[in-house]
A and B are shown apart, each in its own frame.
Chain A
Amino acid sequence: MNDVILAAENLTKEFKGFVAVDGVNLRVRRGQIHALIGPNGAGKTTCFNLLTKFLSPTRGTITYGGKDITAMSSADIARLGLVRSFQISAVFPHLTALENVRIALQRRRGDSFDFWRSQKILSRFDEEALSLLAEVGLSEFANTSASELSYGRKRALEIATTLALNPEMLLLDEPMAGMAQADVERITALIQRISANRTILMVEHNLSVVATLSNTITVLARGKVLAEGDYATVSQDPRVVEAYIGAGHG
């Protein structure tokens, strides 16, 4: 299982002369947990936006599962099984936690253009939605509207929603930012568990989480790949240490 599932070649994004992502080459191997780290403003989120076509790259190509997806739309990339989460908690605030997850489960029906049917038929997804909520520790909040959840719980809800699609590959942008320690542990364990038959590319600032979870780490600084390897290699790389200290990150 060592084949490359997601590859970016010379990925570049310029914003009015400012180069946020600069010739990045990235290979994520199937079945791995691959971490993307780097100081604030390094271009990690921009990379995610490019890989999922929320932004169009200025240059470069993206291949997923051997297929060139550089010209595809975001929604179609998600349909291929490459699903992202967002750095800023992305929930549907005025829907309940259960409904949030159900929106993702509903994708299994294909498109939902049936405006003449009652939404009662969606209740067949309730049981599964509840078990996904249980996985992230949100059982008791099933009927709470998402906007009432604490920040950490919104993140957990977002993960449950992403998992509901049962994606082949997940891109998680700081999934644990703003979570309490107990939740960090639960979500770390969850990510470990779900990674069994999936590939995960994850941005995370919590280095102990990165150390625990990831097989490969790519370090990004000022839009460029600075170093790549396992945790031991990367954490000892003087350029990496310098980039973090130079950015006042620690």
Chain B
Amino acid sequence: MTALTETNGATMVVERGNGSMPRYQIAIFLALLALSLAAPFFLYPVFLMKVMCFALFACALNLLLGFGGLLSFGHAAFFGSAAYVSAHAAKVWGLTPEVAIILGTLAAVVLGFVIGLLAIRRQGIYFAMVTLAFAQMVYFAALQAPFTGGEDGIQNVPRGDLFGAISMSSDLSLYFVVLVITFGGLLAIYRIIHSPFGQVLKAIRENEPRAISLGYRVNSYKLAVFILSAGFAGLAGATKAIVFQLASLTDVYWSMSGEVVLMVLLGGMGTVFGPLVGAAVIVTMQNYLASFGAWVTIIQGCIFVVSVMLFREGIVGVIAKLIRRPL
């Protein structure tokens, strides 16, 4: 059962049920999985892996923004530092890719704890500004630190052998590893949203004073979701570094933070599938419009403005409204 509700002029599809994944959502997940299994035989695996990494990144931000109600404008810090750590671990320490990715993710979790602790004390736009400020500090650290390679970044990262046994040198074999990571991440985020914790999170997003008055120490929940979100953003960044064999300043730059916000808003924040769509659209656009050079940014900006003016709920949000089902 579902319904549309109207508050402050914004519409949102409300979910009803006992918390198990509704059948049509299972169907969508399975369809996505089938598509992803077939896709690398028709499209460039590297392009698809890029889409998947950004989809996971966008879902991570959506966990914080769409379900925690917190707009971070500094998520590149987690994506980027995980990329650096994972690249360093694989290249300099010669670790296997899965260990490198795990280390990168852990680095993002630790950084998420530190930045989150300081940011959650602020509300709304101030929260966004604090996250941006810290992300800029991470950027300068990446620019100056000896192990990040400055302007060049860490290049030629070896993809290595998975578990020290399976060679990742072919794009196709790496593709399926990335597929497992991405779907694992998506399902984990889905579970978080639909857990007792997720339920409290939604309550805080909906009405923070009321949640406090019921005895919830809301800052602990905000910090927890911030760390989780940073962790998944890190997982995406660490994986990306292995895929492209590169960690660079672009990964920690503020425009990366902005891009992922754009993906979430375009796809539909607070929806399960929106960030996937947003990421796919943006990455595809960047790929096909690459020949336009600097114009890509301008086209992207225009799309953003149009989408915000025409459909605030994002692509998936609008579809959910039309079919009256949460997506």
- A residues sitting closer than 8 Å to B (CB atoms) are 52, 54, 73-76, 78-79, 83-86, 90-96, 99, 102-104, 106-107, 109, 111-123, 143-145, 147-148, 161, 165
Whether B18 contacts A123 by the Cβ 8 Å rule is yes
CB-defined contacts of A122 to chain B, threshold 8 Å? 19, 196, 199
CB-defined contacts of A54 to chain B, threshold 8 Å? 209, 212-213
Q: Which 5 A-B pairs have the closest CB atoms?
A: A119-B19, A78-B215, A115-B197, A92-B206, A112-B196
Whether A94 contacts B1 by the Cβ 8 Å rule is no
CB-defined contacts of B196 to chain A, threshold 8 Å? 106, 109, 112, 114, 117, 119, 121-122
Whether B213 contacts A147 by the Cβ 8 Å rule is no
Could you show 26 A-B contacts with beta carbons less than 8 Å apart? A74-B213, A75-B215, A83-B213, A83-B215, A86-B209, A93-B5, A93-B207, A94-B12, A95-B14, A95-B206, A99-B199, A103-B199, A103-B211, A113-B197, A113-B220, A114-B196, A115-B198, A118-B191, A119-B18, A119-B198, A121-B196, A122-B196, A122-B199, A148-B3, A161-B214, A165-B215
- B residues sitting closer than 8 Å to A (CB atoms) are 1, 3, 5-7, 12, 14, 16, 18-20, 191-192, 194-200, 202-203, 206-207, 209-218, 220-221, 224, 228
Q: Once bound together, how far apart are the Cα atoms of A94 and B197, in whole Å?
A: 16
Q: Once bound together, how far apart are the Cα atoms of A154 and B200, in whole Å?
A: 19
CB-defined contacts of B7 to chain A, threshold 8 Å? 93-94, 147
Whether A74 contacts B14 by the Cβ 8 Å rule is no
A151 to chain B, nearest CB (A): 13
Q: Once bound together, how far apart are the Cα atoms of A90 and B207, in whole Å?
A: 7
Q: Once bound together, how far apart are the Cα atoms of A83 and B200, in whole Å?
A: 18
Whether B212 contacts A78 by the Cβ 8 Å rule is yes
CB-defined contacts of B198 to chain A, threshold 8 Å? 115, 119
CB-defined contacts of A76 to chain B, threshold 8 Å? 215, 217
Q: Which of B199, B206, B213 contacts A112 (CB 8 A)?
A: B199
CB-defined contacts of B217 to chain A, threshold 8 Å? 73, 75-76, 111
CB-defined contacts of B191 to chain A, threshold 8 Å? 115-116, 118
CB-defined contacts of A91 to chain B, threshold 8 Å? 207, 210
B228 to chain A, nearest CB (A): 7
Q: Once bound together, how far apart are the Cα atoms of A48 and B206, in whole Å?
A: 22
Q: Known contacts being A106-B200, A111-B220, A116-B191, is A92 close to B19, with CB within 8 Å? A: no
Q: Once bound together, how far apart are the Cα atoms of A185 and B220, in whole Å?
A: 40
Whether B209 contacts A90 by the Cβ 8 Å rule is yes
Q: Known contacts being A78-B215, A92-B203, A103-B203, is A119 close to B194, with CB within 8 Å? A: yes
B235 to chain A, nearest CB (A): 15
Q: Once bound together, how far apart are the Cα atoms of A103 and B200, in whole Å?
A: 7
Q: Which of A52, A75, A86, A121 contacts B216 (CB 8 A)?
A: A75
Q: Once bound together, how far apart are the Cα atoms of A54 and B214, in whole Å?
A: 13
CB-defined contacts of A106 to chain B, threshold 8 Å? 196, 199-200
Q: Once bound together, how far apart are the Cα atoms of A143 and B14, in whole Å?
A: 10
Q: Once bound together, how far apart are the Cα atoms of A90 and B12, in whole Å?
A: 19
Q: Known contacts being A109-B196, A112-B197, A121-B196, is A78 close to B213, with CB within 8 Å? A: yes
